[in-house]
Amino acid sequence: MQAQLRKRKEGFTIIEVLIVLAIAGLILLVVFLAVPALQRNSRNTQRKSEVASIVGAINEYSNNNGGKLPTSAQLASAVQNAKLSFYEAGGVTAASSDTNGATTETVQVRLQAKCGTNGNASSGSASARQFAVMYNVETGGGEQKLCQDS
């Protein structure tokens, strides 16, 4: 009779199951919050690398042409040998003003200028051989303007 009254102690209690589910939920939350930031950082790293390739291509053009920078019309042919994936097919344009009008998909090159404040280029004290490349990167709250000098 006592053998029949004994309860079997197999399986998990409801508290143990809830704790496991809560821990799994926290892990999934961390993963879903971290993945977009990692992807954004990866794209930004690639953008910065491509801007460095554009600067190198323009410097190479300048070295091969007696120190002269390419004109706005020659800019596309000057950067055609740069390895680009974000900024191909017309994504590299000449800037007509000191204001950064670039987006995360485009780059603007300001000839005879150097980087100023807030990611903009300034033509005030730049020499004839200087240029600035303006571009944007993604942030958690939108876009950030950046500029890289020659």
| Residue 123 pLDDT greater than 60, yes or no | yes
**H or E element, residue 58:** helix 14-64
Of 85, 86, 145, nearest to 110 by C-alpha is 145
Q: What is the pLDDT of residue 75?
A: 82
Average pLDDT over residues 28-54: 89
Give the pair of three-digit tokens for residue 57: 């291509």
| Residue 10 pLDDT greater than 60, yes or no | yes
Angle at 36 between CA 32 and CA 37, to 5 degrees: 110
Of 134, 65, 57, nearest to 95 by C-alpha is 134
Of 57, 105, 55, nearest to 85 by C-alpha is 105
pTM: 0.75
Q: Is the dihedral of CA 135, 108, 127, 57 positive or negative?
A: positive
Q: What is the pLDDT of residue 96?
A: 74
Angstrom distance (rounded) from CA 150 to CA 137: 19
Task: For residue 92, give the 3-state DSSP assignment.
Answer: strand
